[in-house]
């Protein structure tokens, strides 16, 4: 696999020359895939061991940058889900009774092992998910390690986290994660649950399970007691079986709003706890007194980071009318420098769309935007012939009623609207079914604070966008879900307070 890639990359690099705004590849710029030892088949991680699914069924995972198959993964059905839950149940008593200090040591160990194997994690994340290697390397993997470090620190300080209260872990937690930040979402879910003394069954997304399975290896290496973490691969049905299992006491889900609603209905009336981190259509608001060049960087980072596969993406830009022309001109210029293409190229800014289905969804929404008559602009660049790619683009002259101002695209597609007054900006920003995040750009911090207090959004950035920190709680309002992950708040869903 690695050898074949190297060969094809070499041939290409001879032919392609760097051209501004065009896809290009340099040999020396390509991250080597040799660091990853892909297996042909991956098993389920249950009770500390890798096993085939009981039915023997598998499914494939592919590299969205080429459309080629990477590996076969075990497809967990109801019986496998039950085995994983039973393993977690068996491990619960000893793990929950272990001192916080000891639990913390395991989490520190996992964090350090992720750091040690960070290059392997980064390349695998990029191969399986299509995100630019510079993002896997500099954002996803370090943040995942930091999340374990952060919650390792809480494990022996739970008495301080809940002063005057007696707390107990909840029990077996079922955690279901999406394909956009595979390892990072696994870390967001596992670290607080383990710190608080719970045991877990984690189901990664079917498109991107490989780094979760590498994490299972790390968990083995860290000698975490068997059954404390179980990782089962599969599709929506696997997730549904986990949600329905009577011995699962808490469900943590990150994914689409539709599936979030299905899960909420499925567990209504049961004693299961639930947190949902769902979609978004977040407003990135640019005031006329903002530092325009920085704001343009913030727009680009807000929507084109991770190909726009970001639940808190700044997918609606609200720009004050007086600076609209300047912002649009600068944005077009900046977008012309974006390098779209091979995710393993260290210079790539926008990689591959995660799957064929997602590319089709994005294309159909872009077609609707065009039909509705929005002024459309896309980066003028050549896309690789194989794989799933989309040119970064925006629609101007949008209204709050436009489809692209209301529907989450989950791709590199921006909707731009204008406003005249701060009140109008707040009104438009809050006119959404979602309420996950927002960005505010202004020279006046008093203005940023005032606007922030009026926005119905869980995460608000001032003069920056898409910055994440394990100490900062993350979560939404309205159809963006409920519950918080990160920070002290991230521990609440994993304890019973008495
Ligand atoms: P997307 O539409 O972006 O692929 P989904 O919400 O469908 O996101 O998927 C997020 C995660 O939820 C994935 O791990 C997926 O397998 C899982 N999933 C899908 N359907 C269900 C379901 N009915 N119950 C539980 N989990 C599900």
pLDDT digits (tens, 9 = 90+) for 400-425: 999 999 999 999 999 999 999 999 99
Question: How many angstroms does the Cα of residue 342 sit away from the middle of ligand 1?
Answer: 27
In the prediction, which pLDDT does 11 show?
A: 43
Q: How confident is the model at residue 277 (pLDDT cuts 50, 70, 90)?
A: very high
Residue pair 228/251 in contact (Cβ under 8 Å)? The answer is: no
Nearest to 34 by CA among 66, 72, 71, 1: 1
Question: Cβ(259) to ligand 1 under 6 A?
Answer: yes
In the prediction, which pLDDT does 199 show?
A: 98
- Is the pLDDT at 193 greater than 70? The verdict is yes
* Type and span of the H or E element at 133: helix 133-135
In the prediction, which pLDDT does 32 show?
A: 87
First to last CA, the chain: 54
Structural domains present in the chain: 30-278+480-497 (3.40.605.10), 283-469 (3.40.309.10)
Question: How many angstroms does the Cα of residue 174 sit away from the middle of ligand 1?
Answer: 13
In the prediction, which pLDDT does 21 show?
A: 44
Question: How many angstroms does the Cα of residue 276 sit away from the middle of ligand 1?
Answer: 12
Can you tell me the mean pLDDT for 218-223? Answer: 98
Residue pair 172/247 in contact (Cβ under 8 Å)? The answer is: yes
Residue nearest to atom 24 of ligand 1 (CA): 240
Higher pLDDT, 9 or 48: 48
Tokens encoding 337: 């420098």
Nearest atom (ligand 1) to Cα of 204: 14
Question: Cβ(438) to ligand 1 under 6 A?
Answer: no
Can you tell me the mean pLDDT for 31-56? Answer: 95
Return the best residue to mutate from 61, 180, 255, 277 for the ligand 1 pocket (most ligand atoms within 8 A of CB).
255
Can you tell me the mean pLDDT for 173-199? Answer: 98
Residue nearest to atom 17 of ligand 1 (CA): 236
Q: How confident is the model at residue 27 (pLDDT cuts 50, 70, 90)?
A: low
Question: Cβ(344) to ligand 1 under 6 A?
Answer: no
Question: How many angstroms does the Cα of residue 453 sit away from the middle of ligand 1?
Answer: 33
**Number of neighbouring beta carbons within 10 Å of residue 263:** 23
Question: How many angstroms does the Cα of residue 73 sit away from the middle of ligand 1?
Answer: 17
Question: Cβ(256) to ligand 1 under 6 A?
Answer: yes
Residue nearest to atom 21 of ligand 1 (CA): 236
Residue nearest to atom 13 of ligand 1 (CA): 205
Question: Cβ(240) to ligand 1 under 6 A?
Answer: yes
Question: Cβ(243) to ligand 1 under 6 A?
Answer: yes
Can you tell me the mean pLDDT for 262-270? Answer: 97
Can you tell me the mean pLDDT for 210-214? Answer: 98
In the prediction, which pLDDT does 175 show?
A: 98
pLDDT > 90: percent of the chain: 93
In the prediction, which pLDDT does 2 show?
A: 41
Question: Which positions are annotated as active-site residues?
Answer: 277, 311
Residue nearest to atom 18 of ligand 1 (CA): 236
pLDDT single digits (tens) 446-471 = 999 999 999 999 999 999 999 999 99
Question: How many angstroms does the Cα of residue 178 sit away from the middle of ligand 1?
Answer: 7
Residue nearest to atom 11 of ligand 1 (CA): 178
Give the gyration radius of the chain's Cα atoms.
Answer: 22
Question: Cβ(262) to ligand 1 under 6 A?
Answer: yes
Question: CA 170, CA 158: separation in Å to the nearest integer?
Answer: 14
Question: Cβ(396) to ligand 1 under 6 A?
Answer: no
- Is the pLDDT at 140 greater than 80? The verdict is yes
Residue pair 43/50 in contact (Cβ under 8 Å)? The answer is: yes
Residue nearest to atom 2 of ligand 1 (CA): 256
Question: CA 203, CA 239: separation in Å to the nearest integer?
Answer: 7
Question: Cβ(75) to ligand 1 under 6 A?
Answer: no
Nearest atom (ligand 1) to Cα of 234: 16
Q: How confident is the model at residue 14 (pLDDT cuts 50, 70, 90)?
A: very low
- Is the pLDDT at 477 greater than 60? The verdict is yes
User: What's the mean pLDDT when you consider all of the chain?
Assistant: 94
pLDDT single digits (tens) 98-110 = 999 999 999 999 9
Burial 304-330 (b: 16+ CB within 10 A, else e): bbbbbbbbbbbbbbbbbeebbeebbeb
């Amino acid at each position: 696999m690695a050898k074949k890639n190297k060969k094809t990359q070499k041939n290409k690099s001879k032919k392609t020359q760097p051209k501004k705004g065009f896809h290009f590849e340099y040999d020396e710029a390509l991250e080597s895939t040799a660091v990853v030892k892909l297996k042909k088949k991956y098993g389920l991680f249950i009770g500390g061991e890798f096993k085939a699914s009981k039915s023997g069924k598998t499914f494939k995972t592919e590299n969205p940058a080429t459309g080629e198959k990477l590996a076969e993964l075990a497809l967990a059905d109801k019986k496998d889900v039950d085995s994983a839950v039973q393993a977690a149940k068996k491990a619960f008593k000893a793990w929950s009774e272990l001192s916080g200090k000891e639990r913390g040591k395991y989490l520190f160990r996992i964090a350090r092992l992720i750091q040690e194997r960070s290059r392997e994690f980064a390349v695998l994340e990029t191969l399986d998910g299509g995100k630019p290697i510079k993002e896997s390397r500099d954002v996803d993997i370090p943040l995942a390690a930091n999340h374990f470090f952060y919650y390792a620190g809480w494990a022996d300080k739970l008495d301080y986290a809940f002063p005057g209260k007696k707390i107990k872990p909840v029990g077996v937690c079922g955690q279901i994660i999406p394909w956009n930040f595979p390892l990072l979402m696994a870390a967001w879910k596992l670290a607080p649950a383990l710190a608080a003394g719970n045991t877990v069954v984690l189901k990664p997304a079917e498109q991107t399970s490989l780094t979760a399975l590498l994490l299972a290896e790390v968990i083995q290496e860290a000698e975490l007691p068997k059954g404390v973490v179980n990782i089962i691969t599969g599709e929506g049905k696997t997730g549904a079986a986990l949600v329905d299992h009577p011995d699962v006491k808490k469900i943590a889900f990150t994914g689409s709003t539709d599936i979030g609603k299905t899960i909420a209905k499925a567990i209504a009336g049961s004693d299961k706890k639930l947190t949902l981190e769902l979609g978004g259509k977040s407003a990135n608001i640019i005031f006329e007194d903002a530092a325009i060049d920085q704001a343009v960087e913030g727009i680009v980072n807000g929507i084109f980071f991770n190909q726009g596969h970001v639940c808190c993406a700044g997918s609606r830009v609200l720009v004050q009318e007086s600076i609209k022309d300047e912002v649009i001109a600068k944005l077009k210029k900046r977008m012309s420098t974006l390098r779209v293409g091979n995710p393993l190229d260290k210079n790539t800014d926008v990689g591959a769309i995660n799957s064929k289905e997602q590319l089709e969804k994005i294309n159909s929404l872009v077609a609707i935007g065009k039909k509705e008559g929005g002024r459309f602009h896309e980066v003028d660049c050549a896309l690789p012939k194989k794989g799933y790619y989309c040119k970064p683009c925006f629609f101007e002259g949008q209204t709050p009623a436009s489809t692209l101002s209301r529907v989450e695209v989950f791709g590199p597609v921006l909707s731009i609207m204008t406003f005249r007054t701060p009140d109008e900006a707040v009104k438009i920003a809050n006119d959404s079914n979602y309420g996950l995040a927002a960005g505010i750009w202004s020279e006046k911090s008093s203005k940023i604070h005032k606007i922030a207090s009026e926005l119905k959004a869980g995460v608000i950035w001032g003069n920056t966008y898409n910055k994440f920190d394990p100490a900062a709680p993350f979560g939404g309002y309205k159809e963006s879900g409920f519950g918080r992950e990160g920070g002290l708040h991230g521990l609440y869903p994993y304890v019973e307070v008495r």
